[in-house]
Structures are given as structure tokens and as C-alpha cells.
Amino acid sequence: AKKRGRDRYEFFTQALQAEIVETKKLADDILRGMENHEFEAFYQPQFDARSRDIVGVEALVRWRHPTLGLLAPDRFMRVAEELNVVTAIDRLVLEQGLRDHAAWREAGLVIPKLSVNVSARRLHDEELIAQLGGMDIAPGVVAFELVESIFLDEEDEVAMANIEAIKRLGIDIEIDDFGTGYASIVSLMKLQPARLKIDRQFIAPILDSTRQRKLVRSIVDIGASLGIGIVAEGVETMDHAKALQRMGCDVLQGYAFARPMTAETLAGFARGQQWR
């Protein structure tokens, strides 16, 4: 028994060590990739549920890895967060987003809204507001998507002060992954967000379950009574889209319409408004 215990111990230490080595490699690779400008914003369009016009895009980071190809955030974000590189990624995505947005406009393409994801770390960054002040951000154009779990701590004064300053700069606050974070609805509403994004795990089952439809409808009701827009993410089929429109969602985003794409592809797509 003693030997078996030791074998297991060695197995776990080896597995742990292998994981540490892998994480370290990935961390070095991320830093190298940042130096090498391999990270890039993709854009997924968002549509008005009724008119079906493009009302905005969400910027989503991708890594053009020299050997592994195009990588989505699930491959690197956890380590990027541990490394604190996530604030640099958020900043890079916003800066590229503003540049692309300006280029679209110059090309005659009006994309009303540019949404970017903002990590907890960045929301707590003391330099955030100064940085934003130095950027050319027209009021009403940019939205920050903040995940609900950021607001678990109601006494979080740094975050609250930053949010007020962000709003004063004319940037909208959106609650991302709404319904997954266990923050109290009262504390969330105190933020007076412009929009709530219902997480896709609540959207997927609406066609099969009355209960799930009721849940979404009650979120829509909250939004309507407080003047907060409702965005549904992860809309995978047109049947979902129709149901969500009937339920009163304002904005729809998902594979049913378009996947995240490069800035250039987005320009072509928006011109075509292909999905009607």
C-alpha cells in the first residue's frame, strides 16, 4: 500500500510538473506573440431584432499563431489572465477596434456600436481612465462588456469609481454573460447598464423548454421596465432568432447570422447585409 501511495504521489507530481512546464511555455509564447503583434481583433455583427439592420459589432480577440494557426481565446486567455497580459490584450483590441471603426466610417460604412470585452483586471487598472481619456472615443459609440461576476463585491470602490468615469466618457456599460455570475440584481441595476447580454446557455434551450422561455421573457421584462436593452448572444438558428424577436429581445448576435470575422470581411459583410 505504501508503494502504491508513493506511485500515485509521483504520478501526480509528474502530471503537475508537466502542466507547469506547459503553462510556462504558453506564457512565454504569449509574451513573444504580443511583441510580435500576433493578436488581432475579429468582429461579430449584432442585429436589430426587428429591422435586422446591423446595430453594432463585438470585438473578439484572436491569436494568429505562427505555427498553430488562428487561436480562439479558450486556448490562451486563462494564462493571459494569470500573466496580467489580459489588460494589454483588452487595450490592444480597443485600439484596433477604434482604428477599424474609423476606417469603416471613412469607407462610408456606419457601424453604430463597437463593443469590447473588459476583464476584471482592466476594470481595476488605475491607469484605465487616463488611457481612455487619451483615446479618440466619440460619445455613444463604444460599449464595455463587463461580466456579471465582476460585481460580486458591492464594496469594490475602484471598480465603481472607474465605471462612473467610463460613463462620463460616453462609453456604455453592458452586463455580459447575464445570468451566470450570481451578482445581485439590485447591485447590477445600480450600475444603470445600457444593455444586458443574456448568456448563450440560456438562449440555446428556448425552443425546447417553456421554463427557459419564461426565464428569458422575465429578463426582457426587467429590461423593458428599467429601460435597459436586451441582447441575446449565441443565437444559433433562425428559429431561435424568430422566437427571441417575438419575446421582445432588442438585439441578436450569433452563428445564425455571422461568425466573428476580420475587419476587412466585416466591411464586405455589412455592405451586403447578406442574411436577410
- Residues that bind ligand C2E in the complex, under the rule CB under 6 A: 44, 60-61, 72-74, 77, 86, 89-90, 93, 117, 119, 145, 176-177, 200, 233-236, 254-255, 260
CA pseudo-torsion sign 115, 203, 54, 76: positive
DSSP string, the chain: -HHHHHHHHHHHHHHHHHHHHHHHHHHHHHHHHHHTT-EEEEEEEEEETTT--EEEEEEEEEEEETTTEEE-GGGTHHHHHHHTTHHHHHHHHHHHHHHHHHHHHHTT-----EEEE--HHHHT-TTHHHHHHTS---TTTEEEEEEGGGGG-TT-HHHHHHHHHHHHTTPEEEEEEETSS---HHHHHHT--SEEEE-HHHHGGGGT-HHHHHHHHHHHHHHHHHT-EEEE----SHHHHHHHHHHT-SEE-STTT---B-HHHHHHHHHHTTT-
Residue 46 lies near Ca ion (rule: CB under 5 A): no
Q: Cβ closer to ligand C2E: 207 or 224? A: 207
Residue 145 lies near Ca ion (rule: CB under 5 A): yes
Give the shortest CB-201-to-ligand C2E separation in angstroms. Answer: 10
Give the shortest CB-52-to-ligand C2E separation in angstroms. Answer: 16
Residue 199 lies near Ca ion (rule: CB under 5 A): yes
Residue span binding Ca ion (CB under 5 A) among the ranges 38-46, 124-132, 173-181, 215-223: 173-181
Residue span binding Ca ion (CB under 5 A) among the ranges 142-150, 152-160, 187-195, 239-247: 142-150
Q: Cβ closer to ligand C2E: 193 or 260? A: 260
Q: Cβ closer to ligand C2E: 72 or 158? A: 72
**Residue 173 · residue 142 · CB < 8 Å:** no
Give the shortest CB-17-to-ligand C2E separation in angstroms. Answer: 28
- Of 44, 117, 162, 245, the one binding Ca ion (CB under 5 A) is 117
Give the shortest CB-145-to-Ca ion separation in angstroms. Answer: 4
Residue 148 lies near Ca ion (rule: CB under 5 A): no
Residue 125 lies near Ca ion (rule: CB under 5 A): no
Give the shortest CB-51-to-Ca ion separation in angstroms. Answer: 23
Q: Please report, as residue ranges, which positions from 176 to 195 form the binding site for Ca ion (by CB under 5 A).
A: 176-177
> 145-176 burial string, b = 16+ CB within 10 Å, else e?
bbbbebbeeeebeebbebbeebbeeebbbbbb
Give the shortest CB-191-to-Ca ion separation in angstroms. Answer: 16
Residue 172 lies near Ca ion (rule: CB under 5 A): no
Residue sitting closest to ligand C2E (CB): 254
Please report, as ranges, the residues that interact with Ca ion according to CB under 5 A.
117, 145, 176-177, 199
